[in-house]
Amino acid sequence: MMKASTFLIATIFLTGFSGVVSAIDFCPASAPLETFLCNANEDYHSLQFIGEVAILTNTSVPGTEAAIEEVRQHIKPFLVKAKNTVFFNTKAGEILNDFYIYWITLIDDSRPRPYEDLLLYQQRSDERYTVLQEKANRLRIAAE
């Protein structure tokens, strides 16, 4: 019975997930680069949450592919604005591209692997998030 209720909660969450990323603005409107980084982090954490729900319910969560595509589309306007702010800074532009490519890699591989339990999944996600933050910090320094 516990699994059924957890699955129901996950289904309700994912049913409402479509459009939620763009409807709720977790990030303050600040400098375009910081807004981009904040949105990238929030989107990553949203998909990580979906992965955790999939593990806890021991099911494949419906709508995961749609959520990944929605996150990819959500970040594009913020990426364009961030690119505009580093347009004349070649080094920062290269680091921004590196950050974005790594972020896309994480997003595309955000689903849990068949052998992962919650602890392994969270460990993999945390390690990747740490690398993402290191790249974000390098970008901030290069953009100064």
Cα 34 to Cα 47, 59, 78, 123, 131, distances in angstroms? 20, 35, 9, 26, 17
**Higher-scoring residue by pLDDT: 125, 21:** 125
- Quick one: average pLDDT of 25-34? 81
| Unique residue bearing structure tokens 């692997």 | 113
* Residue 82 and residue 33 in contact, taking contact as beta carbons nearer than 8 Å: yes
Residues belonging to the chain:
144
State the greatest distance between any 2 C-alpha atoms of the chain, in Å, as a whole number.
Answer: 58
pLDDT band for position 27 (50/70/90)?
confident
* Residue 110 and residue 48 in contact, taking contact as beta carbons nearer than 8 Å: yes
d(CA 103, CA 126): 13
Global pTM value? 0.80
Tell me, what's the pLDDT at 26?
73
Mean residue pLDDT of the chain comes to 85
32, amino acid identity: P
Tell me, what's the pLDDT at 65?
84
pLDDT digits (tens, 9 = 90+) for 73-123: 999 999 999 999 998 989 999 999 999 999 999 999 999 999 999 999 999
Question: Which residues, 6 or more positions from 19, have their beta carbon under 8 angstroms from its beta carbon?
Answer: 70
